[in-house]
Amino acid sequence: MNSRERVLAAVKRQRPDRPATSLRCTVEAWDSLKKHLGVETNDDVMDALDIDLRWVGVPFIGPKERSAIPLGSEGTDFWGCHNRKVENDFNSYFEFDNHPLASASSVQDINRHDWPSLDWWNYAALPAAIQAANRKEPRAIMYFAGGSFETPWYMRGMEAFMIDLYENPDIVDAICSHVTEYYLQRAFRAIDASNGMIDMIGSGGDLGSQRGMMVNPDVWRERIKPYSAKLIATFKKRGFSTFYHSCGSIVPVIGDLIEMGLDVLDPIQVSAAGMKPEELFPAFGDRLSFHGAIDEQELLPHGTPKQVYDETTRVIDILGQNGGFIVSPNHQVQGDTPPENIVAIFDAVRDYRW
């Protein structure tokens, strides 16, 4: 069984030859891993660790004044949001300090915004990126389309957007409509350019906090769910595997996501209320596959390699009972995580026996 087949089996909740794997890191964590493994590129790291699921994106070729990566670099991003750099001892982060729709007071104001062009992306670069990921063996390829909850509040500001959910639903609908349609059409272009080499379409938006949902589930169902469904059901109907990312505790709406056509839920923030593997698998394991679940808040930065190895094995025992689990840290690995602990995750995967 090759890498791609391993992930596709996990999506269908069928036991592959070994658990499937995935990995995301901050720049600092990638650099630490490259030094530890004695390799030069992020792809080299993933090949050395035999990571099965690979994420691909399209390079930005639009105007320089809109070229910042949302939450990934300083400056103004393609939506018109401005990001500033903040640093701690281990990582650089980027946070919003300007929301372009903050002062909008009507749907007309929303429609008049300088919305990005679909032509600002180099879709033709996708085949080469996928071929690079597949250089060692065929990998499962995921394209992340975007999200219908986070991007709208990025543009509006979180407090204003949360108030709009109750007091200005027409503004919510206008922003979500523009954002969702853009992400849909961009994904369609990426799919066309990929020559059939994309296996999974991702979408997402953090709905949960450590203790529960940030949005009343019924309000989410009324205002946000229809748009999120477009970024899941549309691609499910076209034969793609589907993936949704939300940090935090989101138990009340997991059934809704399954109803939309979701195959894989990420990142399984095990320290959040109700998100422990032993709670999730009995409730949803017959209808849903899981991605993540190796704790990045406490275990990976502060544990020993043996503790990481043992916990990875334990989580596979639970979430992987029917094969429906892609093993990964439950978010981007941060710069304060020893590279030995990251390697220990994938040592445990390699050694695992069903």
- pLDDT tens for 37-89 read 999 999 999 999 999 999 999 999 999 999 999 999 999 999 999 999 999 98
Q: Residue 112: its pLDDT value, please?
A: 97
pTM over 0.95: yes
Measure the CA–CA gap between 60 and 119, rounded to whole angstroms: 9
User: What percentage of the chain reaches a pLDDT higher than 90?
Assistant: 99
Q: How are beta strands 53-56 and 20-21 bridged, if at all?
A: unpaired
**Which pairing describes strands 82-87 and 75-76: parallel, antiparallel, or unpaired?**
antiparallel
pLDDT at 134 (0 to 100): 97
Confidence of residue 169 (pLDDT cuts 50, 70, 90): very high
pLDDT at 24 over 90: yes
Mean pLDDT of the chain: 97
Phi then psi for residue 339, to 5 deg, are -60, -30
Pairing of strands 92-98, 140-146: unpaired
Structure confidence at residue 302 (pLDDT): 98
SS3 162: helix
Can you tell me the distance from the alpha carbon of 351 to that of 177, in angstroms, rounded to the nearest whole number?
47
Determine which helix (DSSP H) or strand (DSSP E) holds 86, and give its type and residue range.
strand 82-87
With 90 as the cut, is the pLDDT of residue 342 above it? yes
Q: Residue 262: left (phi > 0), alpha (psi -120 to 50), or beta?
A: beta
pLDDT at 268 (0 to 100): 98
- Return d(Cα 214, Cα 33) in angstroms, integer: 34
Once rounded to an integer, what is the mean pLDDT over residues 137-161?
98
Q: What is the pLDDT of residue 265?
A: 98
Question: Does domain 3-199+294-351 fall into CATH 3.20.20.210?
Answer: yes
How many CB atoms lie under 10 A from the CB of residue 9? 19
Work out the average pLDDT over 335-342. 97
Name every residue whose Cβ is closer than 8 Å to that of residue 76 and which is 6 or more positions away in sequence.
Answer: 65, 66, 67, 68, 82, 83, 98
Confidence band (pLDDT; 50, 70, 90) for 194?
very high
Sketch the domain layout of the chain as residue ranges.
Answer: 3-199+294-351
How far apart are alpha carbons 21 and 33 in whole angstroms? 16
Q: What is residue 254's predicted lDDT score, i.e. its pLDDT?
A: 98
pLDDT for the residue 354? 87
Helix/strand/coil percent split, the chain, to 5: 45, 15, 35
Residues in contact with 353: Cβ distance below 8 Å, sequence separation at least 6, in sequence order: none
pLDDT value of position 172: 98
Give the number of other Cβ atoms within 10 Å of residue 112's Cβ: 10
- What is the per-residue pLDDT across 286-316, written as a single tens digit (0 to 9) for each? 999 999 999 999 999 999 999 999 999 999 9
d(CA 186, CA 140): 20
